[in-house]
Chain A
Amino acid sequence: MRLGRYELTLEPRPARPAIFTALTAVVAILLALALSSFLFLSSDAPLIDAYRAMFSYAFFNPHGVLATVHRSIYLLFCTYAFLVPLRAGLWNIGLPGQVYAGGLAAFAVPFVLRTHNPQTLALPPGLLIVLMIAAAAAAGAATGGFAGLLRAKLQVNEILVTMMLNSILFWLVAYMIKEGGPFMSATGEGESFGLPSSLHAPLLLGVPVTAVLALCVAVLLDLLFAKTALGYRIRAFGENPAAARYGGIIPVALSLLVFLLGGAFAALAGYHYFAAVPGVYKIPGNYGYYGDLGFYGIIAALIARGSSLGAVPIVVLFAGLSVGARFAQGELRLPFGVDYALLGLLMMTFVASHVLYHFRFGWRRIPSEALQPVPTELPRG
């Protein structure tokens, strides 16, 4: 861009010290919080109280912390679901659909085995829980794999397919749990039957086992990409598909594989929210809210630059702020939707900080000889 005698350009940054990475993240968070002040202006409460209410609930209040943890686990699985295909250069926008598929499959296990009635448990509950998790993962993998297969075999855009699957599965859930649906609760309130208490996921220190699973996957995924042959192939395919093909990688198999994995992870998120969070243990009528929340996994994976461990603090922040903002909204009569607005702002500042992370503004004077006026008259020939 040219401004008078000066030129403003975006230039790639040569070296990026590690501290700089952390610093840009912190600045992005602070900026988002500062911008969100505008949202709180309509409230009578002083600004500082709004922030205090938000943070103290999300990270210090016992109820709030649990809510933050549950939401973090959910978002982490969603993050992995996007992250694995992303490393192969593919975009899995089908998180909500895969979440629903996981939820439905998990509930299908007790339904099919006629054990959703506590008196008729045919199998040991431990085995049933493992079956539910496996069924959820398999259903999510199938949903994701469908998009992966279409992409690999027929070059159908994976973004479109996964988006459409979201819609299909949203309505499939509605059919299953709303009036007359097979999974409808006895009370007919537009939600699924509740799981018998023997099928609730076991708790460790008050937190469902899915937390352990989520953290293990965070470590394993980073190891997968750093150390294994498979991770190498996924990265190679993501960086340069032509070179990967030259190196013997089969694009069809690889696209399918990453979508199978991604779908399975999203389905575990579905299992976690509908079958493992204390106080829920059913597919609620507002399941669509959780589906939409899954999209924050995309943002977390992008901000973490494809690192599963790097995504953990980002996810916790997202979860905490959305939980805390929702609480503060009720407490201080803040406008409806501040939680989503805050997440949106955070997303924008993170994305903006990415540009500043990779580039810097160059500001230099244009040498005077380069400013010669361009002749407009043509010589007569």
Chain B
Amino acid sequence: MSPPDLAPTEPILAARGITKRFPGVLALDHVDLEIQAGEIHAVLGQNGAGKTTLMNILFGLLQPDEGALYLREQRIRFRSPHDALARGIGMVHQTRRLVSAHTVLENIALGHPRTRGFLNLRSTRLEVEALGNRYGFTVPLGARVWQLSEGERQWVEILKALYRGAEILILDEPTAALTPPEVKTLLAGLQTLVRDHGVTVLLVTHKLPIVMAVSHRVTVLRSGRVVARLRTADAAEESLVQHMIGRDIAFRTMNRSAEMGRPLLQVEQLSAFNDKGLLALRGVSFSLREGEVLGVAGVTGNGQEELAQVLAGLRPAASGRVRLDGRDVTRLSPLQRWRMGVGYIPAERIEVASIATFSLVENTALNYHFDPAFIRRGLLDNAGLEQLTQRIVTTYNVKAPSQYARAQHLSGGNLQKLILGRVLSRNPRLLIAHLPTQGLDVEAAAFVRATLVEATAEGAAVLLISEDLDEILSLSDWVAPIYEGRFGAIIPRAEAGAETVGAMMAGVGMKEAGVR
């Protein structure tokens, strides 16, 4: 396809000098974004770069602290998505927002200004059919949403936005939940919309191959700032990767003794399905010695969660084998693995690793309620648990009003320190740490990292799963970039360059079905 004329014209939608602060975080720092009519404009960046915040501002879900939006060079202010929709901006969110028990038609009619009060599904059907014919795609209007594939649901959302008169479509990570053939269909469909019908598409993604395949221009965000603004045709993949991950990575290599112990964990061709039944982990193999850290670097949603859960025993392996100390543990329960010394720090510290309504002591018990040292004739040894909690609170510097405060009253950092302390107090031989510093402030993150290093000094093997390349490179002995459920390579730290690893995280140099 040939990109439209990209001579600087009046942008259809522009954001100028947008700044947005959240408590303790500068999410967007004077961001400028200009979108020309009739182009596919990609916004590229890693998780946490500020992409979603920016899109939410464009769609009226958030208000900028500074800066303004311009539609056809007219200054506009969106109080809510209603205002954005009224001016022809539609958004398809990363997670589907459809009523799964309703038909496609009912979902499309839902929330349309004209359907307040009485619903005239017959006229809506005629209009939507006409719209579908015009844009050249068909969605079964009578089907219930739960019967559709993820790809079809996405089209329902797109059709819904178009029915509401959207001329500018914002798609947030549209390929996240799609299979490769669905990705192909989506991208082809978007190209048709733009080429033949003058729709403008704003595509938010961290997947470089998709940017290269369909976009006309690309804006790269990093840490809330625009770091590059390019025509895709002029952009080299390598330079985009550099923009995305930054060239100024400071190596704060932790000082660790590099004596490697006995082999502890062997993983062979491990595969697993995600909750949607798609193969999310596709044949991963590695081995880990005592005292070693393997850093799995990747953007969330590339099979890391499944890897961690399979190793912890919380998700069955679809195929492959896990050996601990030479013993096949592939089919053992989480409890059996805890007893063998597998410690797990899940990424979801609120949803999985703690119980919000339980006190600190009760949360500590989550990893000890089966430990004979804390049970006397079926009774939990509350005094012992209190002592242990006190020790964790002191050692790991957990700030809490009291041991009997509920976990929901702790800040994220303090909760994470409690979880870390609780798991490490069991002296695990293998520690699976998934996003252990996500959302923590600098000080808490540094503490968590130092603690992980300490654990390796005592002989624990650590599987560190992180999105933070900096963190991975500074802590790991081996670095494994993961993309779409596969390791790109397993590279010794000394040879792992930020660019190589970052490129592999973004899918460069890896086979990807459907796009290329």
Contact = CB atoms under 8 A, between A and B. Distances in A.
Interface residues of B, number: 35
A272 interface: no
Interface stretch (A175-183, A239-247, A274-282, A312-320): A239-247
Interface in B333-369: 333-335, 338, 344, 346, 348, 351-358, 362, 365-367, 369
A50 B196 CA distance: 81
Interface of A: 227-230, 232-233, 235-236, 239-240, 242-243, 245-250, 374, 378-379, 381
Contact of B380 (A232, A242, A247, A374): A232
A241 to B, nearest CB: 10
Nearest to B376: A229
A74 B358 CA distance: 33
B168 to A, nearest CB: 13
Contact of A239 (B334, B353, B358): B358
26 contacts: A227-B379, A227-B382, A228-B379, A229-B380, A232-B369, A236-B358, A236-B362, A239-B356, A239-B358, A242-B348, A243-B352, A243-B353, A245-B314, A246-B312, A246-B352, A247-B334, A248-B333, A248-B334, A248-B367, A248-B369, A248-B370, A249-B335, A378-B86, A379-B76, A381-B71, A381-B87
A228 B378 contact: yes
Nearest to B334: A248
Contact of B74 (A235, A243, A247, A379): A379
B72 A227 contact: no
A245 B351 CA distance: 11
A381 B379 CA distance: 73
Contact of A248 (B86, B335, B355, B362): B335
Nearest to A247: B366
B331 to A, nearest CB: 14
Contacts of A239: 355-358
Top 7 closest pairs, chain A to chain B, by CB: A248-B335, A247-B366, A240-B355, A381-B72, A242-B352, A239-B355, A243-B355
A375 to B, nearest CB: 9
Interface in B11-39: none
A247 B367 contact: yes
A246 B362 contact: no
A232 B370 CA distance: 11
Contacts of B256: none
Contacts of A247: 334, 366-367, 369
Nearest to B336: A248
Nearest to B75: A379
Contacts of A374: 79
B375 interface: yes
B358 A245 contact: no
Interface of B: 71-72, 74, 76, 79, 86-87, 312, 314, 333-335, 338, 344, 346, 348, 351-358, 362, 365-367, 369-370, 375, 378-380, 382
Chain B interface SS verdict (over half): loop
A247 to B, nearest CB: 4
Contacts, number: 74
A43 to B, nearest CB: 47
Which of A228, A242, A248, A249: most chain B CB closer than 10 A? A248
A172 to B, nearest CB: 35
B234 to A, nearest CB: 31
Contacts of B375: 229
A236 B356 CA distance: 10
A250 B334 CA distance: 9
Nearest to A246: B352
A195 to B, nearest CB: 36
Contacts of B365: 232
Contacts of B344: 246
Nearest to B368: A247
Contact of B366 (A243, A250, A379): A243
A277 B26 CA distance: 72
Nearest to A374: B79
Given A227-B380, A249-B335, A381-B71, 7 more contacts: A227-B382, A232-B362, A232-B369, A242-B351, A242-B352, A247-B366, A374-B79
Contacts of A235: 358
A204 B177 CA distance: 67
Contacts of B379: 227-229
B369 A233 contact: yes
A233 B74 CA distance: 60
